Amino acid sequence: MSATPVLALRDLGKRYGERVAVDGVDLVVERGEIVGLLGPNGAGKTTTISMACGVITPDRGTVHIAGHDLATDPYAAKRAIGLVPQDLALYEELTARQNLRFFGELFGFTGARLAARIDAVLAIAGLADRANEPARAFSGGMKRRLNLAIALVHEPTLLVLDEPTVGVDPQSRRHIFDAIRALRDAGLTVLYTSHYMEEVEELCDRVAIMDGGKVVASGTLRELATAHGADGLEVELAGEAAVLALAIEAALALGGTQVGERLHFDARTAWAPVFGALEATGATVAYVGSRRADLETMFLALTGKALRD
Ligand SMILES: Nc1ncnc2c1ncn2[C@@H]1O[C@H](COP(=O)(O)OP(=O)(O)OP(=O)(O)O)[C@@H](O)[C@H]1O
Ligand SMILES: [Mg+2]
């Protein structure tokens, strides 16, 4: 049995003049998952998410949210989604509670039902005791938490967060993380963009890596590590410069990569020939250690680029 995905993007594309911002993105988010969309600046994360949320119109492709086609059934589709945008979207002069009332009313909530929703999301965002202060009095982290509350006030099925921890103090960041986990445990589905791999590693069940407008890999961290050779060994050699140069040449010829002082080999390497070749040059193996997969390594393997420049 496969249930309707909460979000299904098919062949989504967008260009700005000559620049292709998003180039054929397919992405499916299943109910109850936290999916991370990871990529460097300019990868196309915000453009993808903006199309998924109906903020900008794609040039090609389709968006289905909880089974509703965003193009033909926009109200039902948008009703199911809550967006915490990369740039804050709130009214500085209104209090937290007034902001929430405004956005709740946009979705047709009124009276006691709206009041109950407002109290619930203020509690989730940790802003209950600041509810009657204007947003302009809030720190960056508190504004971000108010944006989270705004995204949740109409009780969406899918919460989309676009780099919600940029410029946020550690305490607010922790609060946002704990809130996302608690919401997921209560049944919400989450799509989270970031260019911080540690965040994605900590929070997400599954990751899609974007670069140059495309999804270049997706899966669980474990699947990505296996598929892209991010697990493996690192080796350090000792010996005279001329000998080391020979050994490094031999290592590169056998699939190794040089990273600083060390040589990296992925987990699928045939070890006996590698160590045989290294020792044949006269170099000494001074250190061998295991290398755990991390997204930075995977990202480098996939794109040839560092995640942050
Ligand atoms: N309104 C726009 N007009 C012209 N080009 C744009 C516009 N919005 C985005 N782009 C371009 O499209 C590409 C993708 O941008 P996008 O904002 O989606 O990337 P991103 O992955 O969210 O990056 P960041 O990590 O910096 O937020 C970039 O090259 C960007 O310059
Ligand atoms: Mg962005």
Q: Is the CB of 19 under 6 A from ligand 1?
A: yes
Most trustworthy range by pLDDT among 72-81, 189-198, 212-221, 283-292: 72-81
Q: Classify 82 as helix, strand or coil.
A: strand
Q: Ligand 1 atom 17: the closest Cα is on which residue?
A: 46
pTM of the model: 0.83
Q: How far apart, in whole angstroms, are the C-alpha atoms of residue 70 and residue 75?
A: 8
Locate all alpha helices (DSSP H) within the chain, ordered by sequence.
Answer: 45-52, 74-79, 96-106, 111-125, 140-152, 170-185, 197-203, 221-227, 241-253, 271-280, 295-303
In this prediction, residue 197 has a pLDDT band, given cuts at 50, 70 and 90, of confident
Q: Which two tokens stand for residue 181?
A: 């986990």
pLDDT recorded at residue 199 = 86
Q: What is the pLDDT of residues 80-125, one digit of tens each?
A: 999 999 888 999 999 999 999 999 999 999 999 999 999 999 999 9
Task: Note whether 151 and 84 are within 8 A (CB).
Answer: yes
In this prediction, residue 301 has a pLDDT band, given cuts at 50, 70 and 90, of confident
Domains observed in the chain? 7-221 (3.40.50.300), 232-291 (3.30.70)
Residue 46 CA, closest ligand 1 atom number: 22
Compute the average pLDDT of residues 34-52: 93
Q: Ligand 1 atom 18: the closest Cα is on which residue?
A: 44
Residue 5 has φ and ψ, to the nearest 5°, of -65, 155
pLDDT recorded at residue 309 = 53
Q: Ligand 1 atom 24: the closest Cα is on which residue?
A: 41
pLDDT at 231 over 60: yes
Q: How far apart, in whole angstroms, are the C-alpha atoms of residue 88 and residue 115?
A: 23
Q: What is the pLDDT of residues 120-162, one digit of tens each?
A: 999 999 999 999 999 999 999 999 999 999 999 999 999 999 9
From 46, 57, 83, 165, give the residue whose CB has the most ligand 1 atoms within 8 Å, as the site to mutate.
46
Residue of 221, 258, 169, 178 whose CA lies nearest to 36: 221
Q: Encode 254-267: b = buried (16+ Cβ within 10 Å), e = exposed.
A: bebbeeeebbbbbe
pLDDT recorded at residue 299 = 76
Q: Is the CB of 194 under 6 A from ligand 1?
A: no
Residue 263 has φ and ψ, to the nearest 5°, of -105, 135
pLDDT at 72 over 60: yes
